Chains A and B, each alone.
Chain A
Amino acid sequence: MTLDTFTRSQWYAIGRLPDFDGAEAKPVRLLSQDLTVSDKAGVLSVNDADGRSLLTQIRYGHLWTTLSDTPRPLYDMPEFDEPDRRLVTAGGVGVRCSGLRCVENFLDMAHFPFVHTDILGVEEHPSVESYDVSMDAEKDEIWATKCKFFQPMASAAASGGQITEYKYRVPHPYSTILYKTCPIRDNVWDLVGLFIQPVEEDECIVHSFILVFDDENTDTGLLHFQQNIFLQDRMILENQVPRKLPLDPRWELPTRADASSIAYRRWLKANELQWGVALFNEAA
């Protein structure tokens, strides 16, 4: 499948800053292309296989690059500038499926009780109540709001079960951010997000972060909470068939798909995304 304009025009996180300390042409794969990252006296540069130098930026604890010379601007997360928040970057984790599948799984609350049992959900409270989904036309991003779920241990700082309120944001085909009620402060949100590096159409590296208020846990405690959850997801993601995201109209809409997943798929279609999508005749 050729690379569509929408996919090509995005910025992608390819690693945390410390991952490239002293790098000398460290190989990185992005969108089926071999790139290299070099660290020259603290300045990181990215080159493609022909030696062309690519645009880069450092944001949200990660190094970002793009194959495009005129990329769409990277979305804003003003919360990264707020004082007292703690940022933990969890390191890239390889997953054998399309990164689009990872976004969709992240949006789907229905899996909490079964996949993150006794942490993000309990089997006795499996149902997802309805919530609102809207498009922010100006920024071209999806928001799902007023999501509520009973969680026995919503974050590392939680001391017991609570109804957690969520908002989900999809500002980029391969990024999604979750805003959830902070268990220890009123009227603020904790952030958890995925910056996905699409490696091949059916393979990706998931860079995740948490940006929270927490004065109890160590960074390593926060890291392990996040890694535990994500490795539970990885197991489910790697068992999905097909590995690419089925968007072909000949497929019926997934029964388990909820409103945010439907909105995500429509948004990808509206933007004529093709790379990473399974075709009907490839299935089975």
Chain B
Amino acid sequence: MIQLHDYPLSGNCFKVRFLLEQLDLEYQSILVDFYPGYEHKSPRFLDINPLGQLPAIVEGGEAVRDAQAILVYLATAYDKSGKWFPRDRQGEVYQWLAFADQLTGSISAARLHDAMFYRLDVGKARSDGIRLLRIIDEHLWFAEKDGHEWLLPLPHPTIGDVACFPYIALAEEGGIDLAPFSSVSRWMERFMRLKGFKPMPGMMPLPMPKETP
């Protein structure tokens, strides 16, 4: 069985859990004390992923690390429909997988700084994140104008959408306001309506009413 080295509050782990569930694959979640224990830096885990990052999967004794690589691995091995990783559009898919890793480097970093005290330049992390949000928002605006709902002009999401979704949906946890990005917000709502979608803490399903005292 596939073993996922997992942290429930990691957006990168979320991507992998989401695809495993969409593909109806059984897996065993091995919980890693990411915070406050920093178990991903322990010798036990460094044996599995010398980069000391989550997620990693192990199947048949082989480890695969990096969320995007795992999505490619799972879709290639198990998605008979070929929808999640369309073979004739690999370039476009990879483009969004790489983009997703930049979201980790910016929005996810801001979130770890604010909630879990990672030491980094949070101003830069936020402004990098906002620049990426502008790019993807513009892309989605043109896509919607052409009648498309997902990052690729296909009638269904791909692993590109899966990879980009979590840290965008968690942006407010890192102090980044999503209100200016209306195409992104609509795309997020569509994603959250996918069958089997379960939100992670910090993902706001609907605009929250602002509390008055």
Cα distance A94–B39 when bound, in Å? 20
Indicate if the CB atoms of A228 and B117 lie closer than 8 Å.
no
Point out the residues of chain A lying under 8 angstroms from B115, CB to CB: 93-95, 231, 234
- What residue in chain A is nearest B8 (Cβ atoms)? A224
For residue A173, CB closer than 8 A to chain B, the reply is no
Residues in B whose Cβ lies below 8 Å from that of A230:
201
State whether the Cβ of B58 lies closer than 8 Å to any Cβ in chain A: no
What's the A-B contact tally at a CB cutoff of 8 Å? 76
**Interchain CB contact under 8 A, A241 and B210:** yes
Chain B residue nearest to A217 (CB atoms) is B31
Nearest-neighbour CB distance to chain A for B167, whole angstroms, equals 15
Contact at B211–A241, with CB atoms within 8 Å? yes
- Closest A residue to B212 by CB, please name it: A241
Report the separation of the CA atoms of residues A240 and B213 in the bound assembly, to the nearest whole angstrom. Answer: 8
Distance from A35 Cβ to chain B, minimum over Cβ atoms (Å): 15
Residues from chain A with a CB closer than 8 A to the CB of B114 are: 94, 96
A19 touches B116 (CB 8 A): no
Do A94 and B116 form a contact, CB below 8 Å, given A228-B9, A254-B213? yes
Option from A19, A95, A220, A236 in Cβ contact (under 8 Å) with B208: A236
By the criterion CB–CB under 8 Å, are A240 and B201 in contact?
no
Interface of A is mostly: mixed
B8 and A228: CB pair below 8 A? yes
**Do A220 and B33 have beta carbons less than 8 Å apart?**
yes
Given contacts A241-B210, A242-B213, contact A90 B36 (CB under 8 A): yes
Question: Which residues of B from 1 to 33 have beta carbons under 8 Å from A?
Answer: 7-9, 31-33
State whether the Cβ of B43 lies closer than 8 Å to any Cβ in chain A: no
Closest to B113 in A: A94
Number of interface residues of B (CB under 8 A): 25
Chain B proximity of A36: nearest CB distance (Å): 15
Given known contacts A241-B210, A241-B212, is B31 in contact with A96 (CB within 8 Å)?
no
Contacts known (A236-B208, A240-B211); A221 close to B31, Cβ less than 8 A:
yes
Within A182-240, the residues touching B (CB, 8 Å) are: 218-221, 223-224, 227-232, 234-236, 238-240
8 A Cβ contacts from A87-122 to B? 89-96
- For A224, list chain B residues within 8 Å (CB): 7-9, 31
Contact A235 B173 (CB under 8 A): yes
B142 at the A/B interface (Cβ < 8 Å)? Answer: no
Is A180 among interface residues, defined by CB-CB distance under 8 A?
no
Q: Which residues of B have CB within 8 Å of A223?
A: 33, 37
Contacts of B9 in A (CB 8 A): 224, 227-228, 231
Q: Please determine whether A91 and B36 come into contact, CB atoms closer than 8 angstroms.
A: yes
Q: Encode B27-55 as 1/0 by CB contact (under 8 A) with A.
A: 00001110111010000000000000000
Is A93's CB under 8 angstroms from B116's CB? yes
Residue B82, interface by CB 8 Å: no
Contacts of B7 in A (CB 8 A): 224
Q: Which A residues are in CB contact (< 8 Å) with B37?
A: 220, 223
Considering residues A235, A241, A254, which has the most beta carbons from chain B within 10 angstroms of its beta carbon?
A235
- A284 CB to closest chain B CB (Å) equals 10
8 Å CB contact of A92 from B117, B201, B211:
B117
Interface check B172, CB cutoff 8 A: yes
State whether A19 touches B36 (Cβ < 8 A): yes
- Chain B's closest residue to A90 (CB) is B36
Most-contacted residue by chain A among B7, B115, B202, B213 (CB, 10 A): B213
Give A92 to B117 CA distance when docked, in angstroms: 9
**B204 in the interface, Cβ–Cβ < 8 Å?**
yes
Closest chain B CB from A196 CB (angstroms): 15
**Interface contact B32-A220, CB-CB below 8 Å:** yes
Minimum CB–CB distance from B204 to chain A (whole Å) comes to: 6
Q: Is A152 an interface residue (CB 8 A)?
A: no
| A231 lies within 8 A of B201 (CB) | yes
11 extra interchain contacts, Cβ-Cβ under 8 A, other than A19-B36, A96-B114, A235-B202?
A89-B36, A94-B115, A218-B31, A228-B9, A228-B201, A229-B201, A231-B202, A234-B173, A234-B201, A235-B204, A238-B172
25 inter-chain pairs at a CB distance below 8 angstroms, sorted by A residue, are A89-B36, A92-B117, A93-B116, A94-B115, A96-B114, A96-B175, A220-B37, A224-B7, A227-B8, A227-B35, A230-B201, A231-B202, A232-B201, A232-B202, A234-B173, A234-B201, A235-B201, A235-B202, A235-B208, A239-B208, A239-B211, A240-B210, A241-B210, A246-B213, A283-B213
A residues in contact (CB < 8 Å) with B? 16, 18-19, 89-96, 218-221, 223-224, 227-232, 234-236, 238-242, 246, 251-252, 254, 278, 283
- Kindly list the 8 A-B residue pairs having the minimum CB-CB distance in the complex, ordered from nearest: A91-B36, A231-B201, A246-B213, A232-B201, A220-B31, A240-B211, A220-B33, A239-B208
